[in-house]
């Protein structure tokens, strides 16, 4: 059980601390608004070394915050993903930083155009509890690569990790470059006039962050969530689909913003999917006490999931416990992997993002009804399709919209460093990862250099025949 959350600072101390660090970073930015390649590389290298050198301590801190977090999941989904992303930024940094030459119109012959990516300044990052390392380090790598300063607010449920990272970061970075702030309130943190804010969390809180940012006209990157649909087509092996879907769904006990939220199966294959799920889940998680099966983050989240199942059952859904007779554990705050059959739109399980090891199963006869079902709902953070049929893949992708897509697997698009990660509509806005992340946290500054003898020198008053001749040429007049 999560015993990690520590009391916040008092209101005055919290606001003062945030203001103090913000001013340090703002002044440092003004003194050095364009850190060179070597400085950025050094910052990324220090960040990478922190993670590599403190792997065990980081894993233990996250485990304490969760009560039980699978060590292997933390190393694979958080440490590896973070380190690999930093390495990718380091490898690509020189090419990303290069000024981009751009085409110059013939009417400005002799002039030159280029675009220079410049740091925005001070970036505030608000980190959620579900992947507290990866969802901190992934945007942070892009922020530092782009030459910015960063202030980080971690979740109250991640205070063991927060305190550890703050200590480790303070040894390697000055507060005027990077600061993790334990104990400060989200309200105080998001009050600052940052040059960019990154927020990962729920759509409701995302709206509040955006409202605060609007006071300063601060751009935001919002990574939210929603109900990410998964579709299995007739042509795809149902057992293989089941294995891959449940692998992704049950990572972190379903507490993943891009986890498949509900699954559409062909009517003829639904039973085969259910039977295979009953077979493989006990093999992967023989008992609820398994250290490989992560706990729900806290009692509040656990109770919400229990209520979601009770609501579905009361309204007529069939509940399939994939561990048989094993009951949820209040002590461990664990819920057996569960399928929900015959779900309807009035059930909580189909109205809210689940964020747990519970997955509704829906059936279909025609792919068009699936597309319609998805499109009348809020735009999801991810969409998954299991099919080898290229025309079907194209149809589903082009007739729906989501933050990202994985074909024939789930969640794996998030691990790709050269494609952007981000939401759309209710699931968010903006991107990070790869070059798009570097651009997100840069001001692409257009620069035009005039020719020594530009044609525009003839376009001055008093206007006469020369001007008329030039306008005929430019406008195509006869």
Residues marked active site are found at 223, 257
φ, ψ (nearest 5 deg) of residue 431:
-140, 155
Contacts of 128 (CB under 8 A, 6+ apart): 135, 155, 200, 201, 257
Helix axis angle, 37-53 to 55-66, nearest 10°: 70
Question: What's the CA gap between 175 and 150, in Å, rounded?
Answer: 9
From residue 165, alpha-carbon distances to 56, 59, 152, 403 in Å are 13, 12, 10, 29
Work out the number of other CB atoms within 10 angstroms of the CB of residue 458.
12
Q: Please enumerate in sequence order all residues whose Cβ is within 8 A of that of 365, keeping only pairs 6 or more positions apart, or say none.
A: 266, 267
| Rg over CA atoms, the chain | 26
Angle separating helix axes 134-145 and 81-97, nearest 10 degrees: 10
Q: Contact, 132 vs 161, CB < 8 A? A: yes
Determine which helix (DSSP H) or strand (DSSP E) holds 90, and give its type and residue range.
helix 81-97
Contact 361, 339 (CB under 8 A): yes
Tokens at 243, concatenated: 């294995």
- The answer to whether 233 and 389 have CB atoms below 8 angstroms apart is yes
Q: Which tokens hold the place of 200?
A: 């990962």
Burial grade of 304 (CB within 10 A; 0-12, 13-18, 19 or more):
middle
CB burial of 418-445 (b: ≥16 within 10 Å; e: otherwise) equals eebbbbbbbbbbbbbbbbbbbbbbbbee
């Amino acid at each position: 059980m999560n015993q990690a959350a520590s009391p916040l600072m008092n209101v005055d101390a919290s606001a003062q601390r945030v203001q103090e660090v913000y001013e340090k970073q703002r002044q440092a930015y003004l003194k050095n608004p364009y850190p060179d390649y070597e400085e950025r590389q050094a910052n990324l290298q220090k960040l990478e070394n922190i993670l590599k050198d403190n792997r065990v301590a980081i894993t233990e801190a996250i485990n304490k915050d969760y009560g039980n977090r699978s060590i292997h999941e933390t190393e694979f989904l958080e440490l590896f993903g973070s380190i690999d992303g930093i390495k990718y930024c380091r490898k690509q940094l020189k090419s990303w930083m290069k000024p981009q030459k751009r085409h110059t119109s013939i009417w400005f012959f002799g002039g030159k155009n280029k675009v220079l990516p410049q740091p925005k300044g001070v970036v505030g990052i608000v980190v959620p509890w579900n992947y507290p390392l990866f969802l901190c380090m992934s945007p942070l790598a892009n922020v530092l690569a782009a030459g910015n300063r960063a202030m980080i607010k971690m979740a109250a449920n991640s205070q063991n990790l927060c305190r550890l990272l703050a200590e480790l970061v303070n040894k390697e970075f000055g507060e005027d470059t990077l600061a993790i702030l334990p104990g400060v309130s989200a309200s105080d943190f998001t009050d600052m006039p940052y040059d960019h804010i990154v927020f990962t969390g729920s759509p409701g809180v995302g709206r509040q962050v955006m409202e605060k940012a609007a006071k300063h006209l601060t751009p935001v990157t919002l990574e939210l969530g929603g109900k990410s649909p998964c579709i299995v087509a007739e042509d795809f092996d149902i057992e293989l689909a089941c294995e891959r879907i449940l692998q992704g769904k049950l990572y972190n006990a379903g507490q993943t913003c891009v986890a498949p939220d509900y699954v559409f199966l062909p009517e003829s294959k639904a039973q085969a999917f259910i039977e295979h799920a009953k077979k493989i889940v006990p093999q992967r998680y023989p008992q609820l006490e398994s250290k490989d099966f992560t706990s729900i983050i806290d009692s509040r989240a656990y109770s919400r999931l229990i209520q979601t199942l009770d609501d579905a059952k009361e309204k007529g859904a069939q509940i399939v416990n994939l561990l048989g007779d094993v009951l949820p554990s209040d002590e461990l705050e664990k819920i057996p992997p569960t399928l929900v059959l015959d779900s309807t739109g009035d059930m909580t399980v189909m109205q809210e993002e689940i964020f747990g090891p519970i997955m509704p199963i829906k059936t279909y006869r025609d792919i068009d009804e699936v597309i319609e079902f998805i499109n009348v709902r809020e735009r999801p953070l991810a969409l998954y399709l299991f099919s080898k049929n290229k025309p079907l893949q194209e149809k589903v992708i082009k007739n729906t919209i989501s933050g990202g897509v994985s074909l024939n697997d789930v969640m794996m698009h998030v691990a790709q460093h050269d494609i952007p990660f981000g939401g759309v509509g209710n699931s968010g806005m903006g991107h990070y990862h790869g070059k798009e992340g570097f651009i997100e946290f840069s001001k692409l500054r257009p620069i035009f250099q005039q020719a020594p003898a530009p044609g525009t020198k003839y376009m001055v008053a008093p206007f006469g025949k020369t001007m008329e001749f030039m306008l005929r040429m430019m406008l195509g007049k006869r």
